[in-house]
Amino acid sequence: MNNKIAALKKEFPALGSSFSGKRMVYLDSACTVLKLRCAADAQRRHMLELGGCGGKRSFHALAAAMEENFSAARSRVASFMGAGTPEEIIFCAGVTDAVNLLANSFPFTPKRNEVVLSPVEHNAVFLPFERLASAGKVKLRVVPLKGFKPDLEAYAEILGPRTALVCLTHASNIFGGRMELSAAADLAHAAGAYLFSDDAQYAPTHGGSGALYGADACAFSGHKLGAPYSTGALFVKRELLGRLRPWRVGGGTIEDVSVSDGRYKVKYLGNYQAFEAGVQNCSGAAGLAAALDRLENCGFENIRAHVSCLVDDALKKLAGIKGVRVLGGREDLLEGSLISIVPEKKGFSIPDFNLYLNHQLKGRFIALRTGRHCADLACLSSGYRETIRISFFAYNTSEDTAVFVQALKKYLSLLK
């Protein structure tokens, strides 16, 4: 473990917590990353030392200090995502919130109303568009799976003059690896469509966003980077942003309201301002900016290299274990931060195994995720109904994997 990673590891206090007297081996970072001390401190400081009226509403000294802090956080996020300007950044509660906003604001037209989803989209992306499709507002097309990734060649057949938006998860939360976003962006653009990239699993261990690979819109969740819950951002390129129709409307979004002949005329503000209705999560944004500072200070290249090594090490430790199968190939998995495993031995019960990891290990428990991982499209396309997922972040070590692999072998040995 290099010095920068070792120093970063010390800043996640939850790693030292015990639960019912047991120490934790945390292999569930794809669900959420443990929280950084500096992010919690920044949020707390913001709440206690500022904590006033924000969002350009009032004009007093406290409001000015709030606004200064909030726009610094927006600039921080813009530079992390690779946005052209902070005005392209809409603060939101994470990817779920971002996609609901995008889906319901998007300028679909009767002639261009098709949304093309990859077969590994998270329900956070699938469901908002599925709702629109059920209401007859859009038509959904799902690209077939090839191996454990979307079949790139199939895009050419599916995309066309009716395609409005292509959605691609930058890194899958069920099969791991990383997607070829630039190629998908080129295909979408050639069809006159926009590309949205879900960076939920990409941002934490690669840094940056789909904006750097040609996406017209992309989003990440702060809690997956050690920042406070319900923080995150949606980037929308200026040209597309100008075409979105504000969806969640309310205070802080309008330039003017007038009335004539009993009809109101509402003029919305430009850029992000029309999309952040209500008083924003300013203290969360301060925590998010602090988390990004800390991770960039460590260096995303170091985080990536460390996580890749952990995946490699886990693949080696899992190789040759009879009774389970790792999904996906080594080269692909090294580009991600997680591994999904499926049982093959008769009698292996995933819920029982989970109980075993939580209750039968001496002095510790292993936190990981089992099930469908909110990736129902991927489960439907692949036929795998559930998997055991181990996922890594900067604080994990080879020892964590060793504990898991030993427990897995022991559980398998208990099966008749």
Ligand X SMILES: Cc1ncc(COP(=O)(O)O)c(C=O)c1O
Contacts with ligand X, residue ranges (CB under 6 A): 31, 94-96, 122, 124, 169, 173, 198, 200-201, 221, 223
**Which two three-digit tokens encode residue 332?**
């692909």
At its nearest, how many Å lie between ligand X and the CB of residue 14?
A: 18
Nearer to ligand X, 226 or 403 (CB): 226
- Residue 73 CA to residue 201 CA, distance in Å, equals 21
At its nearest, how many Å lie between ligand X and the CB of residue 196?
A: 11
Nearer to ligand X, 79 or 123 (CB): 123
Contacts of 254 (CB under 8 A, 6+ apart): 266, 267, 268, 269, 274
**CB of 408 within 8 A of CB of 25?**
no
How many CA atoms, within 13 angstroms, populate the side-chain half-sphere of residue 366? 28
Nearer to ligand X, 34 or 66 (CB): 34
**CB of 137 within 8 A of CB of 166?**
no
Nearer to ligand X, 69 or 336 (CB): 336
Type of residue at 184: A
- Residue 233 CA to residue 250 CA, distance in Å, equals 19
At its nearest, how many Å lie between ligand X and the CB of residue 346?
A: 31
Tell me how crowded residue 1 is: count the other CB atoms within 10 A of its CB. 16
At its nearest, how many Å lie between ligand X and the CB of residue 124?
A: 4
**Which two three-digit tokens encode residue 263?**
């009809």
Question: Residue 340: in which H helix or E strand, if any?
Answer: strand 338-343
**Which two three-digit tokens encode residue 93?**
């509660």
At its nearest, how many Å lie between ligand X and the CB of residue 68?
A: 28
Taking alpha carbons only, the member of 291, 59, 335 closest to residue 179 is 335
Question: Residue 129: in which H helix or E strand, if any?
Answer: helix 123-134
Nearer to ligand X, 35 or 122 (CB): 122
Nearer to ligand X, 201 or 283 (CB): 201
Tell me how crowded residue 123 is: count the other CB atoms within 10 A of its CB. 16
At its nearest, how many Å lie between ligand X and the CB of residue 361?
A: 26
Nearer to ligand X, 76 or 223 (CB): 223
Q: Given the DSSP bridges, would you call strands 217-221 and 324-326 parallel, antiparallel or unpaired?
A: unpaired
At its nearest, how many Å lie between ligand X and the CB of residue 169?
A: 5
Nearer to ligand X, 124 or 303 (CB): 124
Q: Given the DSSP bridges, would you call strands 145-146 and 89-91 parallel, antiparallel or unpaired?
A: unpaired
At its nearest, how many Å lie between ligand X and the CB of residue 336?
A: 11
Nearer to ligand X, 32 or 182 (CB): 32
At its nearest, how many Å lie between ligand X and the CB of residue 144?
A: 19
Tell me how crowded residue 13 is: count the other CB atoms within 10 A of its CB. 12
Angle at 42 between CA 218 and CA 211, to 5 degrees: 15
